[in-house]
Amino acid sequence: MPCRASSAEDDAAPGEPSATKRRGRVENLRAVQPGTVGREHPATKHGATSEAVVRPLAARRKRTFLARHGIRSRDLDALGRARLEQYARLAAQVELLDEHFRAHGLLDGKGRPRPATAFYVSLCNSLRLATDKLETHLRTRATDPHDELASYLNAKRAAGD
């Protein structure tokens, strides 16, 4: 008979299902509090890939950006809103990884980079590019399209009269 390590089935009391058999049951589900990493998200290490964690932080980043620049979301066109959403999500993910590395360090106990380090570098580069694209888009959209239309119509009227 082959050797095997003890399993959860060995530890279960007689008449109770093992931990592996209880895994998918409704009573084992926990309510998730968005924006928190830790006990509420037991399998989450840094939260940068968790939609429930990233979404509220991204919304906060978006509100902060709009308030800082004195614009409203409805003032942006569809491309501007998409670029803002991309910027906010990337900024939230970078913020989560910053907190993770601040608490646990960039290197593990053996001096090797943690697994999330490559993801962090990729996110930082993506955030830089998204910021540049958002800035360029906002600069090109700085002129009010209504003013452009009004000046065009005024020029047409002046040429026609």
Which pLDDT belongs to residue 21? 55
Which pLDDT belongs to residue 94? 92
Position 3 in a domain: no
- Which tens digit of pLDDT belongs to each residue from 127-140? 999 999 999 998 88
Position 133 in a domain: yes
Position 63 in a domain: yes
Q: How many residues does the chain have?
A: 161
Position 136 in a domain: yes
H-helix or E-strand spanning residue 126? helix 116-140
- Residue 125 predicted with pLDDT over 70: yes
- Which tens digit of pLDDT belongs to each residue from 12-37? 555 655 555 555 554 544 444 444 55
Position 9 in a domain: no
Range of the domain at 131: 19-144
The DSSP call for residue 107 is B
* Rg of the chain, C-alpha, whole Å: 26
> Which distant-in-sequence residues (6+ apart) come within 8 Å of 45 by Cβ?
37, 100, 116
Position 74 in a domain: yes
Number of domains in the chain: 1
- Which tens digit of pLDDT belongs to each residue from 43-95? 456 677 777 888 989 999 999 999 998 888 888 889 999 999 999 999 999 99
Position 43 in a domain: yes
The torsion angles phi and psi of 79, rounded to 5 degrees, stand at: -65, -40
- Which tens digit of pLDDT belongs to each residue from 85-123? 999 999 999 998 888 888 888 888 888 888 888 888 999
Question: Cβ distance 12 to 22 under 8 Å?
Answer: no
Whole-number Cα distances in Å, 13 to 17, 20, 23, 64: 8, 13, 16, 53
Position 8 in a domain: no
